[in-house]
Structure 1
Amino acid sequence: MEHQHEHQHHEMPEMTGHQHDKHHNADHGSDQHMGHAGHDHYAMIADFRKRFYVVLVLTIPILLLSPMIQHWLHWQLSFSGSQYILFVLSSIVFVYGGWPFLTGWFSEMKAKNPGMMTLIGFAITVAYVYSAATVFGLKGMDFFWELATLILIMLLGHWIEMKSVAGASRELELLVQLMPSDAHLVHGEHIMDVKTDTLKENDLILIKPGEKIAADGLVEEGDSYLNESMLTGESAPVQKTKGQKVIAGSVNGNGSLKIRVTHSGKDSYLFKVVDLVRSAQEAKSNTQLLADKAARWLTLIALLAGIATFVVWISLGRDLAFAMERMVTVIVICCPHALGLAVPLVVAKSTSLSAQHGLLIKNRTAFENARKITSIVFDKTGTLTKGKFEVSRIVAGDGQNEDEIIRLAGALESNSEHPIATGITAEATKRKLKLPLASDFKAITGRGVEAIVEQKRIMVVSPGYLEENKVQLPANYNQAGNETVVFVLIDDQMAGFIALADTVRPESADAIATLHENGIKSLLLTGDNKQVAESVSEQLRMDGFFAEVLPHQKLEKIKDLQQKGEFVAMTGDGVNDAPALAQADIGIAVGSGSDIAAETAGIVLVNSNPKDIVKLILFGKATYRKMIQNLSWATGYNVVTIPLAAGVLYDQGILLSPAIGAVLMTVSTVVVAINASLLKVKT
């Protein structure tokens, strides 16, 4: 899948465009990393606020000096030259208050991309030029007061709207601020404080109780519980002991840890998350492109409708002032503000929310298409199951006990990295057994291991070895579908057997049940044997399974489903699943830590929790719903208000002034912003 990383220039170039572009200098420390763009954005918000207050102060005398307002209020305030004072005050409002809109209009014209600013700039210029002409001799009624209130409300609208956009981006800044700025570098006997961004691979750092982890790494010394909730959405603290991975930005509990750095600051998991979130916010999806197209059309319609309104009223014999006012109102009301923001606000909100819940969206379109999924294909190991062998039961022969069998088997297996070996040694550790030393260690190819322990010859072997050597199976031997069994022989005598299984995650059953409730089929795809696959599939009540599938065949299975008309999501841990992840309509890579899994996936789940996949689909649906609600509102509002602004109901006494038009436009934008901010991840 391609990553559509075009920059997002929707209808407000001077406002949101540069929010993104400056973010990509990732080689700064955490503060600077965000810094410039964030500060620019807040400086702009402050600028709009200042312009709003200046215009507000000037609008009061403009209103008092306007003949129309005096006529309505039945009072008189007129002195020689009053219209010139009105002209000067209005000129200041036009130039100072209207400056952002006029410069925006100019840059849109230069980019040959007329939009929001073109409409506002055109409307206020027409109003100003016409009103100025009336002061210097043109017959007609000025509308300086409408110009002033129009600019005032536009500034307020922009200010409110920029604050809501900043709110969505701020969640991203919070992610960056998770990185502590300093770290304690262990240098022989000394500990010195250094800046986090100077840390290199293989540095040793000390994390004191309650501090944030400064870099991704492996625990070299110590034992503590870490809170990783902001990174993974997982609320329970996670125990970390020697050799385990830690993620930068997680918060240490009450133990102290020494960490061997595996990634420098800018390669850390957290920065990758931030960059992913950022590029996802910038990437355009189909819905976004639709909104952009609609906004462009609306700009053209606005200009044409405005000019048509002017022509119609003039030809009906109305005066120039009335026709001008109608034209300006139509153009203002038409501003595709709400439309330009309908999707970007939801995008900004959804990507940062997702990141906080351990869902990393690399491809926006894949995320929005999550609502179409009809089948999910799960890789078994590590997704639905824990991905590691655990001892499920120990059966001891005559005169033996369970601890003794594990102790002797553990002595042999402690040298091996094999999943079965690690399962047995983990069980010995759990039972707090001290493992004796083994000598004369030999591997029996494909069949097991043997060694001398405490002067006895101990063997840990597979059922295949018993068959080949005609060794009698124990009388009490039985095997469950998803178990792997090894036998322990002491001096060639059967001592008992150990059954191990890759246990199903407790969350898997709930996840599959929720998928069924939402009408989505779940299928298991595994390289394991049929017996194991069937056992897991039945236990979780899945819709089917494919067993003994080799990596290159996974792709074929996905293709087969697609040819049957299914919209397929594939989840896998990335390495052997890459081709299948790429083939699937939506590839979801699972796997925590810094190795943000397979490039081929459109979405990455930080935790390997199957419940997150369900969360992702439901959140994708909710996000899409919000976008459509916003688009419907933004277009519906224009369909209703444009005819009113043009004066269709003039005979019924309904007429909108430019200021009312501006209020309606601002309200429409605020409705869209509030609706976007109500988006939530169901947990």
Structure 2
Amino acid sequence: MTQHDVGHEHGDHQQSDHKGHGAHEGHGGGGHDHGDHGDHVAMFRRLFWIMLVLAVPTVLTSPMFADLLGYQLPDVPGIGWVAPVLGTVMFVWGGRPFITGAIEEIRSRAPGMMLLIGMAITVAFVASLAASVGLISHTLEFWWELALLIVIMLLGHWIEMRSLAQTSSALDSLAALLPDEAERVEGDEIVAVDPAELVIDDVVVVRPGGRVPADGVVTQGAAAMNESMITGESAAVRRSVGDQVVAGTVATDSGLRVRVSAVGDDTALAGIRRLVAEAQGSSSRAQRLADRAAAWLFWYALGAAIIAAVVWLLVSDPATTLERVITVLIIACPHALGLAIPLVVSITTERAARGGVLVKDRLALEQMRTVDTVLFDKTGTLTRGEPAVTGVHSVGMPEGELLALAAAAETDSEHPLAKAIVRAAREQGLDVPAATNFSASPAVGVRATVGGATVRVGGPYLLEEERLDPLPQTEPWAGAGATVLHVVRDGQAIGALSVADEIRPESREAVEALHHAGLQIVMITGDAEPVARAVAAELGIDEVFAGVRPEHKADKVAELQDRGRTVAMVGDGVNDAPALARADVGIAIGAGTDVAIASAGVILASDDPRSVLSIIRLSRAAYRKMTQNLWWAAGYNLVSVPLAAGVLAPVGFVMPMAVGAILMSLSTVIVALNAQTLRRLDLSPGAAPR
């Protein structure tokens, strides 16, 4: 806006309306239902150790294992039944989770990894039992392989469930941020209560070092708040009377009194829990690909087993044929394939949440790596969304003295521009003199007596009343769309102030880094063209849409998409809902106390626009891990199944079942460990996208 648009106190302070926010339901999607991960971890851990203990005597007393290693079983009565008895116990007890899962897949007509595992251990059990009782050749006794297979599968599932449980612990840790009790003010007394008992408008005491028990507004005191658990920002933020504070944040240096504004499921923490839970439950393209691959592998393994059976029956004996079929079914277990995607997306979601990036829709996170255009909303995103003093010009006195005089005159005013002037003086540590006889005139300005002189601060109408001309030094400010306020003392213009929506210091770095990553940067705003152009020029933005009403922002997103661009829209979540929903990836920024934003696939808990780079790093890293895991897991099965079937038998190589089982377990562990490396991903704003 220009100086002629502003009266200050005195006129309309034009800013984009950020009060409304259209609701937009988030993307749903089914994912793997892993149930209670904590219970599963305990179950698989317990089963693994019990089965490991049983597996040792089972393997050591297995005749085939003894033959492989070249030792003789001791001549002890009944030793020949140790392996069959313990192997049967292992199959019934340790194999139960896999048999149950296989039955469920048959019922749902969705064959996958559990059916393959179930088939493998069932075939091994039946063959071994038949060999032990003399129904078939003793060479088909595979008790040791059955035991190792069950132990290996339990170990793999324990690794998976432990990783998923660690992911879910991100949610539990959010709940743990709340204090065990809250101190509620009841008249002249302070009473300790359970935070769950708090209701809206209760006043609670937060002592130094204590956690805020519920979202609220500070009514007394000021403190440096550690909000890292909500925003991912490590630096403490000063909160004083009138400021919002969030449940779970810590008052580091002094105490506060807070009036509760939200409790229970309406708090920011509860909202973050919901968002993380939705992200963990949402499906993704990569996950669906892995599910389809597991189904294909079932038919691939079944077909290979049938072909192997036919071919080996033609060229060899039934015992060898059965051994090949069993080997094919055992090493085709797609456990590594099943781990390939769930571990990556779960760890990614957790890592994102801990870094202040709340992934609501995994599809949005996956698509972020393909984005080539980032569309930033200006107000509240690239700028702070509130007026700030951006320039001071004085006549015949130091600039600090001019600012102190203006702040003195504005101290009693409630206007946003007045607060910006007073705040600027305080931030510079200026000694603001006392003022008396304060008065405000709409559309003109304020008047006060400071040091025995009459000081006035205002816009163009003030200059008209005083019959003064604007200071020529203010023309560039007005041309850039800033609000220009002149300071007049006893009828003489002694200086002027430029007040504008302050650009975030991080915005320039964010734009530069995104440019370096090869992305085009576009800005959209409801502000006038001069204001938009000035901000764009300062930040080096490629294209600007100015004077755009909130309801038309989605049209601009569509315009970019019509040019063939893949667009990520970054807004503060207020009045940006249609555009966030229309974009290929919607990113809501500055959601620390407004986690109910439903139109974005990704929500940034901090106000730092550099966090957009974190999403790019996360998306690219997750895609790399998914690709690596899929190739490793699927590639292992594609290669090992033909080898197990005996495709190289004509040249003298037939893969032993033991080797297949070892390779299978190795692939599972490699996939799990590869996914774990995502926990070391650097999501700090200064890190570069890769």
Instruction: Return the TM-score normalized by structure 1.
Output: 0.88
Query: Residues 476 and 681 (structure 1 numbering): CA distance in 2 closer, same or farther, change over 3 Å?
Result: closer
Distance 1:499-1:580 versus aligned 2 partners, 3 A rule: same
- Sequence identity percentage: 40
Match of 1:132 in 2: 129
Q: CA deviation at 1:522?
A: 0.7
Deviations 1:440-468 (A, max 9, x none): 54313xxx335565798765432366469
- Deviations along 1:578-623, one digit per CA (max 9) or x if unpaired, are 2222222111111233212632111111111111012212221111
Match of 2:275 in 1: 276
1:578 partnered with 2:592: no
1:100-249 correspondence to structure 2 within 5 Å: 100-141=97-138, 142-249=141-248
Who is 1:29 aligned against?
none
Between stretches 399-408 and 358-367, larger displacement belongs to 399-408
Once residues 97 and 449 of structure 2 are traced to their aligned partners in structure 1, the CA distance between those partners, rounded to angstroms, is 83
Q: 1:107 to 1:476 in 2, by over 3 A?
A: closer
Superposition pairs for residues 394-405 of structure 1, below 5 Å?
394-397=392-395, 403=401
616-625 or 151-160, larger mean C-alpha shift: 151-160
Match of 2:625 in 1: 626
Shift of 1:70: 3.7
Say if 1:587 and 1:602, in contact at 8 Å, map to a contact too: yes
* CA RMSD of superposed structures (Å): 2.7
* 1:20-43 Cα shifts (integer Å, max 9, x gaps): xxxxxxxxxxxxxxxxx53x2333
Give yes or no for contact 2:120–2:330 (8 Å, CA) kept in 1: yes
Q: C-alpha displacement at 1:672, in angstroms? A: 1.1
Structure 2 distance, partners of 1:80, 1:402, is: 101
Q: Do structure 1's residue 681 and structure 2's residue 682 form an aligned pair?
A: yes
Aligned counterparts of 2:492 and 2:622: Cα–Cα separation in 1: 64
Q: Would you say 1:18 and 2:35 are equivalent positions? A: yes
Aligned pairs, how many? 652
Q: How does 1:131-530 map to 2 (within 5 A)?
A: 131-141=128-138, 142-320=141-319, 322-397=320-395, 403=401, 406-407=404-405, 410-412=408-410, 414-417=412-415, 419-430=416-427, 431-438=430-437, 441-444=440-443, 448-451=444-447, 453=449, 459-463=456-460, 466=463, 471-474=468-471, 477-480=474-477, 481-489=480-488, 493-530=492-529
Q: Secondary structure at the match of 2:476?
A: coil
> Residues 440 and 100 (structure 1 numbering): CA distance in 2 closer, same or farther, change over 3 Å?
closer
Q: 2 CA distance for matches of 1:475 and 1:155?
A: 79
Tell me which of the two structures has the higher relative contact order, counting C-alpha pairs closer than 8 angstroms and 6 or more residues apart: 2
Contact 2:589–2:606 (CA<8 Å) still a contact in 1? yes
Residue 310 of structure 1: CA displacement? 2.3
The alpha-carbon deviation at position 346 of structure 1 amounts to 0.9
Residues 520 and 526 of structure 1, relative CA distance in 2, 3 Å threshold: same
Following superposition, the deviation at residue 349 of structure 1 comes to: 0.8
Deviations along 1:61-107, whole A, 9 cap, x unmatched? xx325156247515354567654454333322222222222222222
After superposition, give the CA deviation of every residue in 1:93-145 in whole Å (9 maximum; x if it has no partner). Answer: 22222222222222222333222221122222222222322333424122223
* Alignment CA distance shift 1:47-1:400 (3 Å): closer
Structure 1 equivalent of residue 644 of structure 2: 645
Q: 1:432 to 1:245 in 2, by over 3 A?
A: farther
Letter matched to residue 286 of structure 1: R
Q: Which amino acid aligns with 1:420?
A: L
Post-superposition offset of 1:236: 1.4
Cα displacement (A) at 1:48: 2.3
CA, structure 1 residues 152+353, in 2 after alignment: closer, same or farther (shift >3 Å)?
closer
- CA deviation after TM superposition for structure 1 residue 44, in Å: 1.8
Aligned counterparts of 1:167 and 1:401: Cα–Cα separation in 2: 56
Equivalent pair of 2:409/2:435 in contact (CA under 8 Å): yes
Residues 134/565 of structure 1: CA separation in 2 closer, same or farther (3 Å cut): same
Contact 2:212 2:250 in 1 (8 A): yes
Q: State the 1:327 CA deviation.
A: 1.5
1:488–1:496 CA contact under 8 A, matched in 2: yes
* 1:517-553 per-position Cα deviation (integer Å, ceiling 9, x unaligned): 1110111222223222222212222212222222233
Corresponding letter in the other structure for 1:6: G
- Alpha carbons of 1:670 and 1:3: their partners in 2 closer, same or farther (altered >3 Å)? farther
Task: Write the mapping of 1:561-572 to structure 2, written as runs, cut at 5 A.
Answer: 561-572=560-571
Any conservation in 2 of the 1:48–1:159 contact (CA below 8 Å)? no
Tell me: CA distance 1:68–1:670, structure 2 relative to 1, closer, same or farther (3 Å): closer
Q: Which residue of 2 aligns with 1:28?
A: none
Does the Cα contact within 8 Å between 1:124 and 1:328 map onto a contact in 2?
Answer: no
Q: How far has the Cα of 1:199 moved from its partner?
A: 1.9
Contact 1:228 1:250 in 2 (8 A): yes
CA displacement, residues 190-236 of structure 1 (integer Å, 9 cap, x when unaligned): 22222222222222222222222222222222222222223222111
State the shift of 1:270 in Å: 1.6
Query: Following TM superposition, by how much is the alpha carbon of 1:368 offset from its aligned partner in structure 2, in angstroms?
Result: 0.9
The letter for the 2-side match of 1:369 is Q
CA spacing shift, 1:494–1:637, aligned 2, 3 Å: same
Q: Which amino acid aligns with 2:359?
A: I
User: Are residues 64 and 86 of structure 1, via their aligned partners in 2, closer, same or farther at CA, if it must alter by over 3 Å?
Assistant: closer
Contact 1:408 1:436 in 2 (8 A): no
The 3 A distance-change label for structure 1 pair 328 and 197 is farther
Q: Secondary structure at 1:656's aligned position in 2?
A: coil
User: Residues 152 and 461 of structure 1: is their aligned pair in 2 closer, same or farther, counting only changes over 3 Å?
Assistant: closer
* TM-score, with structure 2 as normaliser: 0.88
Q: Which residue of structure 1 aligns with residue 92 of structure 2? A: 95
| Equivalent residue letter for 2:316 | G
Give the counterpart letter for 1:521 in structure 2: Q
Q: Does 1:589 align with 2:588?
A: yes
253-262 or 516-525, which deviates more? 253-262
Maintained 8 Å contact 1:376/1:571: yes
Conserved in 1, the CA contact under 8 Å of 2:284 and 2:362? yes
Tell me the secondary structure at the aligned position of residue 95 of structure 2.
helix
Q: Secondary structure at the match of 1:18?
A: coil
What one-letter code is carried by the residue in structure 2 that aligns with 1:562?
Answer: Q
- Contact 1:115 / 1:295 at 8 angstroms: preserved in 2? yes
Query: 1: CA distance between counterparts of 2:132 and 2:399?
Result: 107
**One-letter amino acid matched to 1:109:** I
| Residues 174 and 477 (structure 1), Cα distance of their counterparts in 2 relative to 1, 3 Å cut | closer
Q: Deviations over 1:222-269 (max 9, x none)?
A: 222222223222111222222222222222212122222221133221
Unpaired segments ≥5 residues, structure 2: 1-23, 685-690
Q: Which secondary structure state, in structure 2, belongs to the residue aligned with residue 335 of structure 1?
A: coil
